[in-house]
Amino acid sequence: MKLYEFGLSGNCHKVRLMLSMLGVNYESYVVNGSIGEHKSADFLALNPFGQVPVLLDEAVVLRDSQAILLYLALKHPAAGFYPTAVSAQCAVQSWLSIASSEVSRGPGLLRLHHRFGKVIDVASAQQTTQQLLQVMNAALATQSWLVGNSVTIADLAMYPYLALAHEGQVNLVDYPAINQWLVAVEALPGFVTMTGIQLQQNKVNQ
Segment near its own copies (CB under 8 A), from 26-34, 67-75, 176-184, 189-197? 67-75
Long-range contact list for 121-125, CB < 8 A, 24+ apart? 125/168
Residue 60 binds its own copies, judged by CB under 8 A: yes
Asked, as a colleague might, if the bond just before 53 is cis with ω within 30 of 0, I would say yes
How far apart are alpha carbons 56 and 127 in whole angstroms?
Answer: 37
DSSP category for residue 169: T
Q: Which residues pair with 57 in a beta bridge?
A: 60
Minimum CB separation from its own copies for residue 114, in Å? 18
Residue among 48, 78, 84, 123 that touches its own copies (CB under 8 A)? 48
Residue among 94, 143, 150, 201 that touches its own copies (CB under 8 A)? 94
Q: Taking CB under 8 A as the criterion, which residues in 141-170 touch its own copies?
A: none
Residue 75 binds its own copies, judged by CB under 8 A: yes
Residue 63 binds its own copies, judged by CB under 8 A: yes
Which amino acid belongs to residue 33? G
DSSP category for residue 77: G
Q: For the beta carbon of residue 43, count every other beta carbon within 10 angstroms.
A: 20
How far apart are alpha carbons 161 and 141 in whole angstroms?
Answer: 19
Residue among 3, 31, 64, 164 that touches its own copies (CB under 8 A)? 64
Q: Which residues of the chain form contacts with its own copies (CB under 8 A)?
A: 48-49, 60, 62-64, 66-68, 70-71, 74-75, 86-87, 89-91, 93-94, 96-98, 100-102, 104-105, 121, 131, 134-135, 138-139
